Amino acid sequence: MPRSKCGLHAHPLYLSIAMDNVRLTRLLILSSMELPTTLRPLGIPKEFLRGRFVMDDATYPLIRKSFLLSLGLVLVGCSSLRSPATTAASHLKIITQDADPNKRYAAYAKLATPSVYDNDRQKGEAVKTLIDELTKAREPLATRAQICRTLGELRDTSAREVIISATGDPNPVIRVEACRALGKIGKSEDATILARIMNLDQEPDCRVAAVDALGLLKSQDPRIHSVLVMGLEHEEPSIRYASYQALKATTGKDLGIEAKAWSQYLEPKADPETKPAGLKNESHGQRAR
């Protein structure tokens, strides 16, 4: 819904009608042109829309009426402050007090939008509530996954520990969202966690999410670069493509999809004795989870 600079909302229907009337008012004032018969705003007799007419005593009240109608519609559309259903406070109230899991899920999702917060203190309160709910694991599976996603979008590093814990959740739905969130709020050292998931997790979606997160994290660790280069030769096309995208994001280069070109580019930057120990590309039978 359109919002003015003072924080007011204007209903799209009101604004649309108002703008139509403003445009027509302008046409009435510049009345030397032919007006199409399809322009029939509220309160405008159709005979005034036929042919050419001039500004006389009969048309002036009509113009005044159209202008006042436009102004009134805008004022009605902007007459109320932001709806309580769109504020962070209202979403937090739903999370803590509403028994409907569907409403709580929607509230968790809406908290990911920066515009619902009035200040940083309110945002911090929301992050604290989200961390608490994710830790207690009382919400349904889909809702906990949404909490991870929201924490990632808010990019508050205070959620890092709980997100790292969620990357080891037994359910892959949670692990996928936790990996992506860790890419947004994690530290460079967390790349090793993601690299391990990339190689050892049994779920393809989790492996791809881990690679995507490596691209977001942009770690400059040569070991992580080596893991991504190996990912270009992975048996799964989704891993190969995700590794390619992650390498582009991490290095700022685009050397194509061939591992050899990337190896030649990255090799001089790596320590010859540095090896991606424990991060090798294993077969499905060797993956722990």
Region 84-186: CATH code: 1.25.10.10
| Other Cβ atoms within 10 Å of 225 Cβ, number | 26
Residue 268's pLDDT is 72
Mind listing the pLDDT tens digit for each residue in 181-213?
999 999 999 999 999 999 999 999 999 999 999
Higher pLDDT, 194 or 53: 194
pTM reported for the whole predicted model: 0.66
Residue 150's pLDDT is 97
The percent of residues above 70 in pLDDT, for the chain, comes to 63
Higher pLDDT, 281 or 118: 118
Higher pLDDT, 106 or 68: 106
Mind listing the pLDDT tens digit for each residue in 208-257?
999 999 999 999 999 999 999 999 999 999 999 999 999 999 999 999 99
- What is the residue extent of each domain of the chain? 12-77, 84-186, 216-289
